[in-house]
Amino acid sequence: MTEIIREGDLLLLLAPGGYTYLLPAQDRPFHTHRDVVNLGVFLGKPWGSKALGQRGQPFYALKPTLHDHLMKVHRATQIIYPKEIGLVLLKLDIQAGKTVLECGTGSGALTLALAAAVGPEGRVITYEKEARFREVARRNLARVGLLERVIFREEARGGFEEKEAVDALFLDVREPWELLPGAWKALKGGAPFGALVPTVNQVSRLLEALYAWPFVGLEVQEVLERFYKVNPERLRPEDRMVAHTGYLIFARKVLEK
């Protein structure tokens, strides 16, 4: 059955020059630096439909993917990028029905991906001490209909409320080693732990703390991403690549060393 675009649906508008915009489908004009298109022409049309702007430039209405939603979140902070998020979801075994704890919500990009992965029966518990960041994350989650899957909490310095209750835990904070005792207590036995930090000094501090607690299977990884020019006759790498954005540290909780 063909899905059609309805008023209020979020659509990814592919504009001339390859630019993309995440917008609600409404009967209103949308201006780019190359042309103007009335978004109302897509209402009642199938996803993937084409419309011409006032200057004859083509626009396409695409159904947003999770990747699109992640890259288009409103940002109050730096976000964890999809190149890391994909690995985090796999290493932490994020699946439908699971309960996941995250500390360092920020703008909520990882929160959004976790909420999508745990499904309607799962829960994401996310800690963020800054009220303004929590509000941005809430808006980002509400925009894609995932807010109900997320429980927001505030300061975590005194430890996490959850005790042996979460299937996975991820830290995206400046000093993750300070939260490690609470993280160990919150995780179920054998459950995966993950963290992201930007510098090698932080990696070293966190590794020292992990070795001091009952964690095993320690790993440190970095994900580098390179795009290619999409010209079949002159295929070659883009002049720039997305290299270092952070170090990922993974481990598993055990009950004793």
Q: Per-residue pLDDT for 8 more than 90?
A: yes
Please say whether the beta carbons of 141 and 112 come within 8 A. Answer: yes
Domains present along the chain, CATH in parentheses: 10-64 (3.10.330.20), 68-253 (3.40.50.150)
- Averaged over 156-165, what is the pLDDT? 91
Structure tokens at 201: 């000094």
List, for residues 80-111, the tens digit of each pLDDT value: 999 999 999 999 999 999 999 999 999 999 99
Per-residue model confidence (pLDDT) at position 242: 84
Question: pLDDT digits over 40-80, tens only?
Answer: 999 999 999 999 999 999 999 999 999 999 999 999 999 99
Cβ atoms of 250 and 219 within 8 Å: the answer is: yes
HSE (side-chain half, CA atoms, 13 Å) at 143: 23
Q: For 234, phi and psi rounded to 5 degrees?
A: -140, 55
Q: Mean of the pLDDT values across residues 153-160?
A: 88
Residues 167-177 pLDDT 10s: 999 999 999 99
Residue pair 19/32 in contact by the 8 Å Cβ criterion: yes
Structure confidence at residue 157 as a pLDDT band (50, 70, 90):
confident
